[in-house]
Structure 1
Amino acid sequence: MKRIRLLIAFIAFGTLASFQNVNETPEKEINWITLERALELQKKNPKKIIMDVYTTWCGPCKMLDKHTFHNEDVVDYVNAHYYAVKFNGEGNDTVTYKDKTYTNPNYDATKANRRNSAHELTRTLGVRAYPTMVFFDENGDYIAPISGYLKPRQIELYLKLFKTDKYKEMDTQEKFNEYYKSFEPTFKE
């Protein structure tokens, strides 16, 4: 009986300690904002934009969010060099981009957590798969979409490519391949 009480006390203490540790060291997070807010901030402090186009039902989107967008190196780099936008590619938000308003006229609220109609902005940006990271320059102009789940070191390649404008020099696949081969990642996995 004494052993059982001691075991219960040990488990209770361990559980309590683990809850305290979770609350003491909050995870770093990317400062996600809306596209409209990012475009507004660019007027005062020009930075590029990374937009995470996701859906609620997408497994790789959830993995990207959990493993890549919570990686300390990714968080620090994105927060320092980009405005970060999280956009539900099948959501019901009204978004204004380049003086045009985009909606999802075929959105079905009963399918909010399942496959739904693609948002007009999703189509305009050429997103055909989830997740897709869409990059914009300091003027809010579209640069490129990068589709698929990327690990921290994989996304680092694109974050640094678009941040430095090296992408403007890459008018052939060969030039990108050279950049890719010479790139030395520094982010921890």
Structure 2
Amino acid sequence: MLNAQKTTDKDIRWMSLQEAEQAAKTAPRPVLIDLYTDWCGWCKVMDKRTYKNPKVVQYLNQHFYAVKLNAEAKTPYQWMGKTFEFNPQYRTNDFAIYLTGGQLSYPSTVIIPAPGEAPQAVAGFMMPKELEPFVKYFGDKAYPNTPFPVFHKQLKTKW
């Protein structure tokens, strides 16, 4: 298994984009992408405060394939048979533009519910309690049948 670790680990099992794509084809789970840049201060804060939270770590490791993705990477990204190149006009990779629908903001948390489905992005820093409804909506598979506002209202938050 790719990057195999126990789900009781203290850290999120971050995978490469290719590893997550392969894993999702073999054993379907949503893919969560932490879209960041090297210069983004709030990205670093989210790494320390949100992605180190034990409840976040445990939930993401059990329900998602997690990927850290530098939006400004000059190397191409491959996803679902397509190659995404660095876009000098926007000073970002075209994959970041695709993931955010052109609404570039860092950090952005992006979930791809299943292979071939459209990415769902939330821009900005989120504390664990703010991240919880978003990830549970997809991780608990509520998204195909329940509108997010209904799910969010019914969710008993624990983080």
TM-score (structure 1 length as normaliser):
0.72
Q: Which amino acid aligns with 1:128?
A: L
Aligned to 1:5: none
Aligned residues: 149
- Output aligned runs, 1:124-163, within 5 Å: 124-125=98-99, 126=101, 127-163=103-139
Match of 2:95 among 121, 140, 148: 121
Aligned to 1:104: 86
Pair member with larger Rg: 1
- Output aligned runs, 1:40-79, within 5 Å: 40-79=22-61
Match of 1:35 among 17, 28, 40: 17
The 2-side partners of 1:131 and 1:71 are apart by 17
Note the C-alpha offset of 1:105.
4.6
The 2-side partners of 1:74 and 1:106 are apart by 35
Q: Which amino acid aligns with 1:186?
A: K
* RMSD across aligned positions (CA): 1.9
Aligned to 1:181: 153
1:82 equivalent in alignment to 2:56: no
Q: Deviations over 1:149-179 (max 9, x none)?
A: 1111111111110112322235xxxx43332
Q: Which amino acid aligns with 1:44?
A: T
Q: Which amino acid aligns with 1:144?
A: Q
For structure 2, the 5+ residue unaligned runs are: 1-8
| Residues 55 and 61 in structure 1, CA contact (< 8 A), matched pair in contact too | yes
| Residues 39 and 140 in structure 1, CA contact (< 8 A), matched pair in contact too | no
TM-score (structure 2 length as normaliser):
0.85
Q: Which amino acid aligns with 1:57?
A: W
Aligned to 1:6: none
| Residues 135 and 143 in structure 1, CA contact (< 8 A), matched pair in contact too | yes
Q: Which amino acid aligns with 1:68?
A: T
**What is the percentage of aligned positions where both structures have the same residue?**
31
Distance 1:144 1:105, change over 3 A: closer
Distance 1:36 1:140, change over 3 A: farther
For structure 1, the 5+ residue unaligned runs are: 1-26, 108-115
Q: Deviations over 1:71-93 (max 9, x none)?
A: 00000110111000000011223
| Residues 90 and 118 in structure 1, CA contact (< 8 A), matched pair in contact too | yes
The 1-side partners of 2:30 and 2:151 are apart by 20
| Residues 157 and 180 in structure 1, CA contact (< 8 A), matched pair in contact too | yes
